[in-house]
Chain A
Amino acid sequence: MNLSELQRLADEDLMPRIAAKDPLAFEVFYDRHGGAAFSLAYRIVGNRQAAEDVTQEALISIWRSGARFDRARGSVRAWTLGIVRNRAIDLLRRDSGRAPKLALDSEELLEKRPADELTEVEALRRETAREVRGALSDLPDEQSRVIRLAFFGGFSHSEIAQMLNEPLGTIKGRMRLGMDKIRASLAEGVYE
């Protein structure tokens, strides 16, 4: 299959060709998603070199494991950005001395250090970087804030509760309200 034929394939039909190790198919994939992947990584890690490293790692892991894409779990785009997000958060957590989330066992979890080891400036940066498409800016501050801290900052709800000096148990509720509103706006076609 040549380049222009590959370019006409939907993402979901491109993935089996990537799983079959067709480099041209991956080039098409890169041209569709590389920019969004890099932008997300950059938003999370905050510098271009680290963003480049994270994006490269994530994309290569997709190239190597393209067969693992499962269309029952969502779009190729969302799957890809999820991988980028997790890689970027792992880097943040490594750099700030927090263990990567998925590598912790329960013993380590009990000893997990609180988020206040991070400087407030750093936490603030992760919270306030610019979102241009409005998904978060339409939300009440208390909802957008906790969503930003979790999704872009890699903080758990209990870390956020401690950081914001709020009772444990309130944060998840705000996350849910915020996500419900984004979902509702999506249904209205606001972001499409």
Chain B
Amino acid sequence: MSGHPSRDDLAAFAIGGLDEREQRSVAEHLEGCDRCAAEMRERLAPAVAVLAESVEQVEPPDSLRESVMATVHQEAAAESPLAEGARSDAEAPARRGWRAWTPAVLMRPAVGVAALALVVAGLIGYVVADGDEATTETVPLAESPAGVGGNLVVDRDSATLHMHGMGQLPEGDVYQVWVADSAGVQPSAAFVPHEDGTATAAVPEAAGDVTEVMITHERRAGQEQPSLERTVFGAKL
């Protein structure tokens, strides 16, 4: 647009009455023109406000207040850094395309691993038959040049990742596990390592026909896509 928009244009703009292209070009002009912006603010905007309030006032349903405030409270709670898990839960239903995954941080103490490493079903790696009651499959994950490595312990319907060499994270950040199979990549557990750099995380998604495991450093749990530039570990199985 050359020069200032006409007064007709500004008035039409104020009530959303320009054609698309005009509407956009006036909006751009207002960003950089104090004179027209003042005309909008001082003269037109108050008249538009009168227009907006001229309508018959009707009582909104109680359900509106309830649903709005429910969302507000939920999201305010999720702002708390202690509530990452809650936020992931809240968002999970919207994540179409991902199979069910584990949003919360699933940390289990290392001493509990023996109890977790349970029964049966051979896929890949080698099978450890442990007496007559427990058959698990332990898949070694080759150590990276940075010294990150571990094992994936798989049984019929669960899998547990045991890692070492994981660097400490800034507060609030997490390591996110991703697993890939023929259908694509999906997120699994998020975790924070112990002080000695070890970590154990339940990764049930890896109990299936998984071809790759990857770990990224994420600013928060619940990402849908891995931040590939912050990959800290990856292993083909």
Contacts and interface: CB of A to CB of B under 8 A. Distances in A.
Given A43-B55, A132-B56, A64 B69 contact: no
Contacts of B54: 131-136
A81 B46 CA distance: 12
Contact of A172 (B12, B40, B67, B75): B12
Interface of A: 21-23, 26-27, 30, 34-40, 42-43, 48, 52, 55-56, 59-60, 63-64, 72-75, 77-78, 81-82, 84-86, 89, 101-102, 104, 106, 109, 112, 129-136, 146-147, 150-152, 154-158, 160, 171-173, 175-176, 179-180, 182-183, 186, 191
A34 B49 contact: no
Given A129-B55, A179-B11, A151 B16 contact: yes
Contacts of A59: 68
A77 B49 contact: yes
B64 A85 contact: no
A56 B16 contact: no
B55 to A, nearest CB: 4
Given A38-B58, A56-B64, A154-B16, A85 B52 contact: yes
A183 to B, nearest CB: 4
B111 interface: no
A129 B56 CA distance: 9
Contact of A86 (B7, B16, B45, B72): B16
- Best-buried of A73, A82, A147, A172 by chain B (most CB within 10 Å): A172
Given A73-B45, A132-B55, 14 more contacts: A21-B76, A26-B72, A30-B68, A35-B59, A63-B72, A81-B52, A84-B52, A102-B20, A133-B54, A151-B15, A156-B20, A175-B12, A179-B47, A182-B51
B75 A183 contact: no
Contacts of B52: 36, 40, 78, 81-82, 84-85, 151
B45 A157 contact: no
A90 B229 CA distance: 38
User: Which applies to chain A's interface (DSSP): helix, strand, loop or mixed?
Assistant: helix
20 contacts: A26-B72, A30-B69, A35-B59, A36-B52, A36-B53, A39-B60, A52-B60, A63-B71, A72-B41, A78-B46, A109-B21, A129-B55, A129-B56, A134-B54, A150-B16, A151-B17, A175-B12, A179-B47, A186-B46, A186-B47
B75 A21 contact: yes
- Best-buried of A86, A134, A180 by chain B (most CB within 10 Å): A180
Contacts of B10: 176
Contacts of B24: 102
Contacts of A82: 48, 52
A172 to B, nearest CB: 4
A85 B59 contact: no
